[in-house]
Amino acid sequence: MRTALVLFSGGQDSTACLAWALDRFERVETIGFDYRQRHSVELNQRAEIRSKIVKLDPAWPPRLGEDHMLDLGLLGEISQTAMTRDIAIVCDEKGLPNTFVPGRNLMFFTFAAAIATRRGLRHLVGGMCETDYSGYPDCRDDTLKAMQIALNLGMEKNFIIDTPLMWLDKADTWRLAESLGGSAFVDLIIEATHSCYLGDREHKWDWGFGCGACPACQLRAEGWRKYRAE
């Protein structure tokens, strides 16, 4: 049962989680979701990352299995958010940014569990984080623990939801990447992954590509500065 399905978007966090899973499980598959996200360029990076990440460790190539891509366009259609519409990124009166897509992670794990059932995979790995995050309620540890219980009850399975980044800040995520694949993996994250909410791959920074101004870019840049300083 040392098998895992990684929720793999093509961003920094999910790429770190993919390496984490390859380091621990005998068979690892990946799943991505096209929900008409504004930064859909991240999906274009997935194949490149998958092809290059296995070169970091001789044990990883035979462990990396199939990739699954699901069309969740309906989620984008019903979501009036800055992640799925060309609107300014702002916060509401409670401080929740309008990049929050209601139900997104809950839906992701539900579909991932359905695929995992068919593929015989037990661990569901996601890059959610409660330490450095934008206040998204579906990234909280309590939410995902409840989700694990619901999936196991509803599907009569024994899934384990793993969130290796839950209690790490972005500097820790950079350090985790270095510990898993050395400087070569850090370079891969810089060159190939994409996290910018605006989908900007024209501007290059020392931490990677992005607009440099959206919340995702600011978080990634600050984590990089802290990581490099330490």
Q: Which residues pair with 124 in a beta bridge?
A: 5, 161
pLDDT digits (tens, 9 = 90+) for 22-41: 999 999 999 999 988 877 88
Q: What are the pLDDT digits (tens) for 199-225?
A: 899 999 999 999 999 889 999 999 999
Whether pTM exceeds 0.85:
yes
Q: Please tell me the distance from the alpha carbon of residue 192 to that of residue 215, in angstroms, as a whole number.
A: 19
What pLDDT is stored for residue 39 in this prediction? Answer: 76
Domain boundaries, the chain: 3-229
At 66 the three-state DSSP class reads strand
Judge whether 8 and 32 are in contact, CB under 8 Å.
yes
Question: Which CATH number applies to 3-229?
Answer: 3.40.50.620
From residue 225, give the alpha-carbon distance in Å to each of 72, 122, 133, 148, 220.
35, 36, 17, 35, 9
Per-residue confidence (pLDDT) for residue 32, from 0 to 100 = 96
Those residues whose C-beta lies under 8 Å from the C-beta of residue 154, and which sit 6 or more positions away, are: none
